[in-house]
A = this chain, B = another copy of it.
């Protein structure tokens, strides 16, 4: 995998670029692996401000990134630039730093590039990782943005109470698997849906969901939910939108809460059928709330402590799906949208 000796003054830097904007689901050939030429392994002199040069170790494939492939500038995060390297969350090792907070050898997580080496000009946005016996890549899921999305969404948006009925879609994914386990720890009854029988087994056997079902084998989602929730759903952690959301609306209980995150934002753009059952909001007094984890960043330290403790105590399980090699990053990302991944999808660029 290694393309250069970091002790040398420079290294060859392969990168994954977006070819052009898309409005449909992404395909592998929307991205290209290109040779970025040689990069000096130092922060260039004359940079505008403090910067760090990192060697990327693990990259995260997250559904929200699809939104950055559209030519749409009205979102909370700008689109990628065609021809430029794809940006995403990653775990990296600092090679050189002109920022006082970082030194060579530090392990960091944060926004980086889909390439072997990245020059990061806003190093203050990086988190330094205190290494432990938890695998580094887990900082992209269990201890990273997806885990934090689950934590914030469940505790801050859903106002859960012990004994409530919780439904999680895309439940074996990076966010869903954590939401379900947090809900179980909170004393809720939890059902998850996923798209293969293998994932359904994982939900029940590994993650401890009370029940799980394969939505692709259910001809009538409304009836399926009625079967699993004869008394209705108090909390829905919305990851998918579309017909599942419509079926959930019909099965919500009085004063139910829907936390809206992630993929609904993508499906909405291309779903020709729309959502038809919002009329349920009134008689059932349902609240639906969109959220983004970064608004709650003050809670991040307590989240890391909570997850680390519960993971080490065996109270929370975590499953990731790792692709090896930067060249496999496009396929790994595309696989998210057909449900190919089992657990949190990451790409290993270098194990050092």
The residue that A290 contacts in the complex, of B261, B265, B285, B290, with Cβ under 8 A, is: B285
- Give the number of times this chain occurs in the complex, counting copies: 2
Also in contact, A285 and B281, with CB within 8 A (given A274-B273, A274-B275, A276-B271): no
In the bound assembly, the distance between CA atoms of A281 and B239 in angstroms comes to 13
The residue that A278 contacts in the complex, of B77, B268, B279, B280, with Cβ under 8 A, is: B268
CB distance A287 to B286 under 8 Å?
A: no
CB distance B282 to A286 under 8 Å?
A: no
Asked if A283 CB lies within 8 Å of chain B CBs, one says yes
The residue that A281 contacts in the complex, of B74, B284, B288, with Cβ under 8 A, is: B288
In chain A, positions 125-175 with a C-beta closer than 8 Å to chain B are none
CB distance A282 to B290 under 8 Å?
A: yes
CB distance B287 to A288 under 8 Å?
A: yes
Residues in B neighbouring A268, C-beta threshold 8 A: 276-280
Interface size class of A (residues with CB under 8 A): 35 or more
Residues in B neighbouring A245, C-beta threshold 8 A: 278
CB distance B265 to A283 under 8 Å?
A: yes
Residues in B neighbouring A345, C-beta threshold 8 A: none
Also in contact, A264 and B278, with CB within 8 A (given A75-B283, A283-B76): yes
Chain B nearest CB from A250 CB (Å) reads 8
Identify the interface centre among A281, A287, A289: most chain B CB within 10 Å of its CB.
A281
In chain A, positions 252-266 with a C-beta closer than 8 Å to chain B are 260-262, 264-266
CB distance A282 to B295 under 8 Å?
A: no
**A75 to chain B: closest residue by CB:** B283
Chain B nearest CB from A70 CB (Å) reads 11
Asked if A330 CB lies within 8 Å of chain B CBs, one says no
Residues in B neighbouring A274, C-beta threshold 8 A: 273-276
The residue that A269 contacts in the complex, of B267, B279, B283, with Cβ under 8 A, is: B279
Contact mask for chain A residues 229-259; partner B; CB cutoff 8 A; 1 contact, 0 none: 0000000000001000100000000000000
CB distance A292 to B287 under 8 Å?
A: no
CB distance B281 to A260 under 8 Å?
A: yes
Also in contact, A282 and B261, with CB within 8 A (given A275-B274, A287-B287): yes
In the bound assembly, the distance between CA atoms of A282 and B292 in angstroms comes to 7
In the bound assembly, the distance between CA atoms of A273 and B279 in angstroms comes to 14
Asked if A303 CB lies within 8 Å of chain B CBs, one says no
In the bound assembly, the distance between CA atoms of A291 and B76 in angstroms comes to 29
Residues in B neighbouring A265, C-beta threshold 8 A: 279, 281-283
In the bound assembly, the distance between CA atoms of A295 and B255 in angstroms comes to 11
CB distance A290 to B295 under 8 Å?
A: no
In the A-B complex, the 7 residue pairs with the closest CB atoms: A274-B274, A268-B279, A281-B290, A282-B290, A287-B289, A265-B279, A76-B283
16 residue pairs of the A-B complex, CB under 8 angstroms, read: A77-B283, A241-B279, A245-B278, A261-B282, A264-B282, A265-B281, A268-B276, A273-B274, A275-B276, A281-B290, A282-B292, A283-B290, A285-B291, A286-B289, A288-B288, A288-B289
Known contacts A75-B283, A288-B288; 10 additional CB pairs below 8 A are A241-B278, A241-B279, A260-B281, A264-B282, A265-B279, A267-B279, A268-B276, A282-B292, A285-B292, A286-B289
